[in-house]
Chain A
Amino acid sequence: MRRETRRTGVFTRRALLMMGGQAAVLGGLAAKLYEVQVVEGGRYATLANENRISARMIAPPRGRILDRFGKPVAGSRINWRALLISERATDVKATLEAFSRIVPLTEYERTRIDREIHKRRRFIPVMVREFLSWQDMAAIEVNAPDLPGILVDVGTTRIYAYGEHLAHVVGYVAPPNEGDVINDPLLALPGLRIGRAGMEKYHDLSLRGRPGAVQLEVNAVGRVIRELDRQEGVQGDDVGLSIDAGLQQAVVGLLGDESASAVVMDCLNGEVLAMATNPGFDPTLFNSGVSQAQWAEWTRDRRTPLINKATSGLYAPGSTFKMAVALAGLEAKAITVNDRVDCPGFLDLGDTRFHCWRKGGHGGVDLRSGLKNSCDVYFYEVARRTGIDKVAAMANRLGLGTELELDLPGQRTGLIPTREWRMAQGKVWNIGDTIVSGIGQGYMQVTPLQLATYTARLASGRQVQPHLTRSLAGVLQPGSLPEDWPALDMPEKALRAVREGMWAVVNEQGGTAPLAKLADPKVQMAGKTGSAQVRRVSREMRESGTFDSAKLPWEYRPHALFTAFAPYDAPRYAIAVVIEHGNAGAAAAAPLVRDIMTEVLLRDPANRTEPPAAKLAAAKP
């Protein structure tokens, strides 16, 4: 029995020991739970709430783009879309088959839909087709019982009231690409578009608006249980342009089929009233992706429809540059207004002979007649006396070959050559280069917008910068008033002499652009022609006597330029026109500018707060 007692004793001791251990361990669990639940409870409670509540953004409606009179040029239109929630479809394939019988789906679309269905979770809608017509939508609704899982949803799409007439200015929107989404996850919101070009791009952030948010209670797989809170998004700001949409349309109409661009500016404040580029493109095509055939068509077209020629087309200014040379000469005191230069039809410099466009020459020429006749020899001589660097500095001050403070992406700077520029190329500047620069040829390249700015500055004597934004969210932007712009630091006398020369070009007997004369005798326009060679004209060609640039193939013909301002006695509007390969400025561009100016003066957008009545708009010459 003693053995039994000993065994019992050992067992009891050890069992009690074990119970102590078990109690300690369970107590330890309780203590650890105290730490997790009570001490750190707050932290975990926050985590639990984050788990439970998922904030989702709602794409805000994009702001509109308006013209100067408040007419919408870019807005949003309701877009009916068919979505598929695969979870609700008993048989996705059958549903899509049935859908195809109502609205045919292409093979390409089917692959895209299949891919998205596999990629997403079953309760997330996949877009089957957007931009449904009213008929399609009705058909889908009627056949809803045969289309389990399909639902029709309303979104928005961008529409452009003036389409290709204003495409280069307004730009376009497109779905964001993956790179955009990485930088700003907000862009992943379905239906959100971002500005890819033009004002849509420049003002993208203002136009986008503030997204709304819904707070949703979701479960672990992300299925929405219920909506807890909803804040609607704030529509993007409206952007008011300085463009007069009616005028813009008229100008595009006047450009006709030419590959050309025209800029109409307010001389006093730099507002761009019309910026027309031909040919245009349909900006809505970018909304849902451009087809390959369309791209091919655009890139094949030698008239480059996608390029905004007004800001990125580069042309030698030709004779329109002569005002800058004259002002440089006056400022450098290389000439006076009345100094005469004899033009025998050429200027010899060493072995090289530089021709005047008029074979017989102009005889004695002063500044006024030099501009009026566009005498090349006079300006060769002025440029030679002044020196290229001073000419270039003057051109830059007037807005040529410099970057303008333009609120439109994609402008090009162009080039006014200097000695320094030539040296940077590892070459030496020759005096011959200066001579050629005197008539705006050679290395020189400017944009039509620069030409318009240059003309506006000459006409108003103010350092205006071209701009397209007049108001943001209804607030007039600085720069809309003439007082916002400082005067050019130039003697009024010199400017007046140049303007007088430009007046003579149009209005005086023997001027180079009589065709530009306005019909209304009370209002006079001043201007300057220009032709920019795209190919060097050899001496043989010139001296053969039968040379006629109009007979060249289209792409070798010189560009036709004309810049003008009106009214002469109180300048308000500046116009620059470049017709690609239009041959001669006087013949091709001058009458066009006359027509545009007539239209501008009729509409008089700078002095109006409302668009002209239909009667006035119809009263075109």
Chain B
Amino acid sequence: MMERRLWREASFDLTGKILRINWLYVLLLCGLAAVGYTALYSAAGGSAEPYAGRHLVRFCIGLTLMLCVALIDIRTIQRLSWVAYAVGVGLLIAVMRMGHVGKGAQRWIEIGGLQLQPSELMKIALVLALASWFHRASWERMGNPLFLIPPIVATLVPVGLILKEPNLGTAVIAAIVGGAVFFGAGVRWWKFVLVALPVPFAAKFAYEHLHDYQRARIDTFLHPESDPLGAGYNILQSKIALGSGGMWGKGYLQGTQGHLDFLPEKQTDFIFTMIGEEFGWVGTVATIGLLSLIVLGGMLIAIRCRNQFGRLVAMGISVNFFMYVFVNIAMVMGAIPVGGVPLPLISHGGSAMLTVMLGFGILMSVHVHRDTEFEAAGDDR
């Protein structure tokens, strides 16, 4: 008990906190940003302008943000969880009323010159809220179905709002991230099976009620070659670029597909393709390796954490990052329907970078406060 008390005192010491930051993890993030800089430099045809330079500046801002957040006490974050949730839902409603629609899907609002995608913030707020709900729940209490009703509602409200944006991809990711927190919190296996069973029917129903452009995405995913110059163009050109990279790639700045503009949105959604064309399979596997280290590192932070709130938050954020990576890479190689999901820290884009770094800040806060105990441990409800 003495030791723990000692830590409680020390937890307010700034130097101590800084020392507890996982600097190796920060280094991995910097490495990923460097990969992004390299790829964006090539995407601009061998120039820091207009993408790579700005990417670097944004990363530095994001890194600062992350480190600041990392120093915030995890208990403060927990107390603010439901506030964040309420703000997130409020923004989602606001964006539906006055937001801008870009490229048929992503909705954003402008706050002080910054384009904000509330759906991205909402995912983090949801993770915080769910973790906050579950962090005191004992294993036994998790067995009570009535106890699960409020978090389920709390998940479905933002997911429903994001679906209505309409942004199918982010909605699905939000649902999966929420589900991951439920899973980590100890919801029984069979309940997941129960939820998963009607999914095929729901999918069929959803397909029939999708917007045309969304249905077209799924259709061209299923038969990309059927319309090589139409909606399937992006996927096909992306596969051509990836495939022509071969094992070792065409060499840095030598990618023909990307440099001759056959590759659409090469600086955002299709940046991974650019890497694949110029650095080949070796390059893509190395990038995936780096991304995996960040995903699994986040999960390890979750396991290492000694309070339930921190664990669940770290898991939720890691799963969120993992979903970004999976959806983006699977999309560019034509394994799942195209949806405007960027590759975090590599794709060009300001607000996504800040949201991701905010998430990593919270993750790092979990790590810094991994041994912090909340006032009353155990199930006190």
Contacts and interface: CB of A to CB of B under 8 A. Distances in A.
Interface of A: 1, 3-4, 6-8, 10-12, 14-16, 18-19, 22-23, 25-26, 29-30, 32-34, 36-38, 40-45, 47-49, 51-52, 217-221, 225
A26 B242 contact: no
Contacts of B288: 26, 29-30, 33
Interface SS of chain A: helix, strand, loop or mixed?
A: helix
Given A44-B244, A221-B261, A15 B378 contact: no
B245 interface: yes
Interface of B: 138-140, 180, 183-186, 237, 239-247, 256-257, 260-262, 276, 280-281, 284-285, 288, 291-292, 295-296, 299-300, 302-303, 306, 308, 311-312, 315, 319, 322, 325-326, 329-330, 333, 335, 377-379
B379 A3 contact: yes
29 contacts: A3-B139, A7-B139, A11-B302, A11-B303, A15-B303, A15-B315, A16-B303, A18-B183, A18-B184, A19-B300, A22-B292, A22-B322, A29-B333, A32-B333, A32-B335, A33-B333, A34-B281, A37-B276, A40-B243, A44-B240, A44-B242, A45-B244, A48-B240, A48-B243, A49-B244, A51-B257, A51-B262, A220-B237, A221-B261
A15 B246 contact: no
Nearest to B283: A37
Interface SS of chain B: helix, strand, loop or mixed?
A: helix
A44 B225 CA distance: 13
A14 B245 CA distance: 38
Nearest to A34: B281
B139 A33 contact: no
A346 to B, nearest CB: 83
Contact of B311 (A11, A32, A217): A11
Given A7-B138, A37-B276, A52-B256, A18 B329 contact: no
Contacts of A48: 240-241, 243-244, 256-257, 262
Contacts of B183: 14, 18
Contact of A19 (B138, B262, B281, B299): B299
Given A19-B296, A220-B261, A4 B378 contact: yes
Nearest to B244: A48
Which residue, of A3, A16, A36, has the highest number of chain B Cβ atoms within 10 A?
Answer: A36
Nearest to B330: A29
Contacts of B184: 11, 14-15, 18
Given A4-B378, A7-B308, A18-B299, A37 B139 contact: no
B239 A45 contact: no
Contacts of A47: 240, 243-244
Nearest to B135: A7
Which residue, of A4, A11, A12, has the highest number of chain B Cβ atoms within 10 A?
Answer: A11
A29 B335 CA distance: 9
B146 to A, nearest CB: 19
Given A29-B330, A33-B242, A43-B243, A18 B180 contact: yes
Contacts of B281: 33-34, 37-38
Contact of A51 (B260, B284, B300): B260
B326 A3 contact: no
B163 to A, nearest CB: 24
Contact of A22 (B245, B257, B295, B302): B295
A12 B329 CA distance: 28
A4 B312 CA distance: 14
A221 to B, nearest CB: 7
Nearest to A41: B246
A48 B273 CA distance: 13
A369 B241 CA distance: 92
Nearest to B246: A41
A15 B299 contact: yes
Given A18-B180, A23-B296, 7 more contacts: A26-B326, A29-B329, A36-B242, A48-B241, A48-B262, A52-B257, A52-B260
B245 A41 contact: yes
B244 A4 contact: no
Contacts of B292: 22-23, 26
Given A33-B285, A41-B245, A220 B326 contact: no
B243 A219 contact: no
A30 B243 CA distance: 13
Contacts of B139: 3, 6-7, 10
